[in-house]
Structure 1
Amino acid sequence: MHASSASLPASVALLGTGPMGAPIARNIIAAGVPLTLWNRTAHKAEAIAGGRVAASPAEAASEVVLTVLPDLPQVAALLHGDDGLLAGWKTAGIEHPILVIHGTVSPVAVAEFADDCLRNWGLTVVDAPLSGGTIGAEEGRLSIMVGGPHCAVERVKPLFSLYGSTVVWFGDTGAGSTVKACNQIVVAATVTALAEAMALANSAGLDLEKVQSVLSGGLANSEVLAQKGGRWINADFEGGGSAKNQLKDLGFITELATQAGLTLPVAGSLLAAFQAMVSAGRGDLDHTGIYLGIRG
């Protein structure tokens, strides 16, 4: 679904042109929307055709700034100093900017961050974590879980429609990240269950491709299997969604569960499993690499 130019923000920037940010940027540009890009490693932004590359966050300051960064500290670090977003918005005369956080962050921390930003600088923060992986980003069919003031969310929804096929608002800032925490329980559990199944099949000398063809034809099928099944077949665990980021997300889930007085046995087991993977020096591998520890 594409939005009309009349409904889009007057100026848009995207900060963080990594594995998710780059395809999001390409989809926005393909829709004919002028886009300013910034990345700490400039050549990654320069590789995206059609965007205007800014030399600093200040130079990228726009009415709507999308951040696609690993965690909240990296977003907060973009605000201050002569080269920061706050200085850039002031210079550009943008009085009520919207800062969108597409990374997976702590629901508790992002709600506090949003309150501080609005109170201190009149900056509205929308948390809008993503699901669908790099393939979903490339194909413009991400699921976007949104939290923030309703009026601000309505302002950015037409933009989200350029790279998301499912965009749902859940409430105040932090609500989107809470939904992402729910999503990540299922993703981490599915990845780990499939890794266990592949390890068991491998131990019996079975053809993993054939095993997966059977799984994909029944109730065990999933988007994780469709997108990531080949990693187990080819023993290729480089790149992708890292184990250390999966562990970070599971930490946020534990934080939320503790706050709610809940005991989540599956999430607790997953946390321990990914802690072991990261401790074994495999934190930069795709999370499907948890298979390596299970296989032994």
Structure 2
Amino acid sequence: MAQITNAESPAVPFSVALLGTGPMGAPIARNLIAAGVPLKLWNRTAHKAKAIPGGRAVDSPAEAASEVVLTVLPDLPQVEGLLDGPDGLVAGWRTGKIENPILVVHGTVSPVAVAAFAATCRKVHGVTVIDAPLSGGTIGAEEGRLSIMAGGPLDIVEGLGQLFGLYSSTVLRFGETGAGSIVKACNQIVVAATVTAISEAMALAEASELDLGDVQSILAGGLANSEVLRQKGQRWVDADFEGGGSAKNQLKDLTFIAEVAAEAGLDLPVSNSVRRAFQTMVSQGLGELDHTGIYLSIRG
């Protein structure tokens, strides 16, 4: 594991594009632009990229092709879909005569799949893939204090430290490509379990006719406090579960966790139980809600 030190100057010595200007990508883009980084932007829904002032919205991944391409997309198939065809990144890198480009995968993806993807990209296209999943949520993205857990060649990750530092407060490299996603799996075990535990506590409090805000005040004052409670506590109080990190994506992450655990020969009872709870929630048609909406499934 290596702590990546960020240089003081906000300028970066390479061209940069960001693909995927959703709830996480948009604030990352705004932080980069605010730091003076000339930034190409692309999003499948074009108006979302065009709505970010100061960036250069383009019409295709080929036009976005830069020395460093940041992808902030839900899963690896969406990243893979950016590469090929006349409008793809590979064509854009070729046209721009960009040698040895770097493709950063900021989404939460399968550690096994991203390692295989990186090997193929290096062999077939000469592209270095860095898996660099994020933690901190949309608030952390807005405030520029995300945590980045990176996997990939040490010199490449170190070279990206200055860029990463413009929207994160912690950058750690854990090994070769795929290692970052294993760390994110560890992170998501805690997040998913905490969201579910708070939801159970809130369901019990409501069933006992207690004030949810008051109960949360007690939780926040002791060992039960957490970043999940700080960022998302009001969702339970207001019964507002629209937007945010979706339950279907939480289930996707829990499925990756099961995959990695099986490869490691581990049985993770809490993760397995939480995964079943989210499977139930999604089967109830609630998968588009924020993952705190597991409360609705628990409450019944």
TM-score, normalization: structure 1? 0.98
Equivalent pairs: percent with the same residue?
A: 74
Does the alignment pair 1:146 with 2:150? yes
1:47 corresponds to: 51
Q: Distance in 2 between matches of 1:81 and 1:62?
A: 17
Selected match of 2:278 from 269, 274, 277: 274
Q: Distance in 1 between matches of 2:155 and 2:206?
A: 53
1:244 corresponds to: 248
Q: Distance in 1 between matches of 2:131 and 2:67?
A: 16
Q: Is the 8 A contact 1:9 1:64 kept in 2?
A: no
Q: Distance in 2 between matches of 1:257 and 1:192?
A: 20
2:9 corresponds to: 4
Does the alignment pair 1:160 with 2:164? yes
Q: Which residue identity is paired with 2:47?
A: H
Q: Distance in 2 between matches of 1:206 and 1:5?
A: 49
Cα displacement (A) at 1:219: 0.4
Q: Distance in 1 between matches of 2:7 and 2:17?
A: 18
Selected match of 1:172 from 171, 176, 183: 176
Q: Which residue identity is paired with 1:149?
A: P
1:203 corresponds to: 207
Cα displacement (A) at 1:241: 0.4
Q: Is the 8 A contact 1:191 1:224 kept in 2?
A: yes
Q: Is the 8 A contact 1:3 1:159 kept in 2?
A: no
Aligned residue for 1:281, secondary structure, equals: coil
Selected match of 2:117 from 107, 113, 116: 113
Paired positions, count: 295
Cα displacement (A) at 1:113: 0.2
C-alpha spacing 1:262/1:165, structure 2 compared with 1 (3 Å): same
2:192 corresponds to: 188
Q: Which residue identity is paired with 2:224?
A: A
Q: Distance in 2 between matches of 1:10 and 1:142?
A: 22
Does the alignment pair 1:74 with 2:74? no
Selected match of 2:263 from 227, 250, 259: 259
Higher mean alpha-carbon deviation, 8-17 vs 222-231, is at 8-17
Q: Which residue identity is paired with 1:99?
A: L
Q: Is the 8 A contact 1:12 1:35 kept in 2?
A: yes
Cα displacement (A) at 1:152: 1.1
Cα displacement (A) at 1:9: 3.6
Q: Is the 8 A contact 1:3 1:161 kept in 2?
A: no
Aligned residue for 2:224, secondary structure, equals: coil
2:3 corresponds to: none
Q: Which residue identity is paired with 1:166?
A: T
Q: Is the 8 A contact 1:148 1:171 kept in 2?
A: yes
Gaps of 5+ in 1: none
Cα displacement (A) at 1:35: 0.4
2:30 corresponds to: 26
Q: Which residue identity is paired with 1:4?
A: S
> 1:278-289, aligned counterparts within 5 Å?
278-289=282-293
Higher mean alpha-carbon deviation, 172-181 vs 146-155, is at 146-155
Q: Which residue identity is paired with 2:199?
A: A
Aligned residue for 2:116, secondary structure, equals: helix
CA deviations 1:263-286 (Å, max 9, x no partner) are 000000011000000000000000
